[in-house]
Amino acid sequence: MERVLVRIPNWLGDALLARPLLHALRRAHPRASIRGVGPKPILELLASDPVADAWEGWPERSDARAALIARLRAWRPDAALVLPPSFSSAWFAWRAGARVRIGYGHEGRSLLLTGALPRPARGERHLSDEYLELGRILGVAACTPPALAVGSAAMEEARALLRARGLAGERIAIVGPGAIYGPAKRWESERFVALASALARDGFRVLACGAPSERALCAEVASRAGSGALALAGETGLALQAALCASAALAVCNDSGLAHLAAAVGTPTVVIFGSTSSAWSAPLGPRVRVVQRACREVAV
């Protein structure tokens, strides 16, 4: 196996759960040329892992996508691992000319895959294990990846931001009150306010972080928690957010990309699950603790 193409998942959490597969693939094929294709911001995070020889951002424009596919066809991949579940991802691997195309065969994708596996019911296996199962066709054996490294430039940017906000030398706690797909996945904002207030009383400076769409939610939590809290949602890219997580003593988040990011860089992380299953998508890491609400209240 000389050339392996990997279509990286589009969601941050899913992409970070693919790290065990990527490290195992590199270990199984140390001399292979491995290329990862996916959203550019996510690839910039994964670039610190010594698992791929090249990373190709998935373009938004159709002409740029066609050019990328043409480059990959010229590269002549021996195999492609298709991690996203979409039909279009399998279609991409077929168009890229991969001789062996491996993925889960649902939504009509089996016709485009040479190695189509039946997908387990959601929650039957952890998503990282689902990805590893695809890799086993290429001789991959499971391994535990190291903590995700954060670049020195991002760490310096984080230190500069903390200095500018008067937080240099402070104990930092990150709270992530947001999550996609709405309230069913979220611990109530009032609970995060109470948590942030308690952390501030214990001497932490609290950063309420999240995606740009969560600015209002994080601002509400920070303002109601008092002077020990600060809202940063939407003010940081992924690299800077990873550096802030690495600088923190603790993170408490809903089931979200932020929780996966904090866990990946090795920060002690508490993840609160609501409607989704922690058995399927809990963040990975030795310093992760999961609270599965299952429609129950969680006390601070």
Domain limit, last residue, from 76, 104, 138? 138
One domain for residues 80 and 182: no
Residue 66 and residue 191 share a domain: no
Q: Is 86 among the domain residues? A: yes
Flag whether 232 is in a domain.
yes
Last residue of a domain, one of 98, 113, 138: 138
> In terms of residue numbers, what domain contains 7?
3-138
One domain, residues 94 and 190: no
Q: Give yes or no: residues 244 and 126 share one domain.
A: no
56 plus 10 within the same structural domain: yes
- The CATH number of residue 247's host domain is 3.40.50.2000
My answer on whether 110 and 213 are in the same domain is no
214 and 118 inside one domain: no
- The reply to whether 39 and 104 lie within a common domain is yes
- Asked, for residue 78, whether it belongs to a domain, the answer is yes
Residues 282, 173: one domain? yes
The arithmetic mean of pLDDT across residues 25-54, rounded, is: 96
Domain for residue 298, yes or no?
Answer: no
Q: What pLDDT, on a 0 to 100 scale, did the predictor assign at position 298?
A: 43
Mean pLDDT of the chain: 93
| pLDDT of res. 205 | 97
Task: Please state the three-class secondary structure of the chain as a single string.
Answer: CCEEEEECCCCHHHHHHCHHHHHHHHHHCCCCEEEEEECHHHHHHHCCCCCCCEEEECCCCHHHHHHHHHHHHHHCCCEEEECCCCHHHHHHHHHCCCCEEEEECCCCHHHHCCEEECCCCECCECHHHHHHHHHHHHCCCCCCCCCCCCCHHHHHHHHHHHHHCCCCCCEEEEEECCCCCCHHHCCCHHHHHHHHHHHHHCCEEEEECCCHHHHHHHHHHHHHHCCCEEECCCCCCHHHHHHHHHHCCEEEEECCHHHHHHHHCCCCEEEEECCCCHHHHCCCCCCEEEEECCCCCCCC
Q: Are 41 and 134 in a shared domain? A: yes
Alpha-carbon distance values, 234 to 5, 162, 214, 231 (Å): 32, 16, 7, 9
Q: Are residues 162 and 199 in the same domain?
A: yes
Average pLDDT of the segment spanning 35-44: 97
263 in a domain, yes or no?
yes
Please indicate, yes or no, if residue 208 is contained in any of the structural domains.
yes
Report pLDDT for 294: 60
What average pLDDT does this structure show over 212-220?
94
pLDDT of residue 182: 65
> Is 147 inside any structural domain?
no
* Number of domains observed in the structure of the chain: 2
- Report the pLDDT value the prediction gives residue 184, as an integer from 0 to 100: 67
Residue 159 and residue 103 share a domain: no
pLDDT at 296: 44
Closest CA to 25 of 39, 35, 12: 35
User: Pick from 111, 138, 165: which residue ends a domain?
Assistant: 138
pTM score above 0.85: yes
Q: Is residue 190 part of a domain?
A: yes
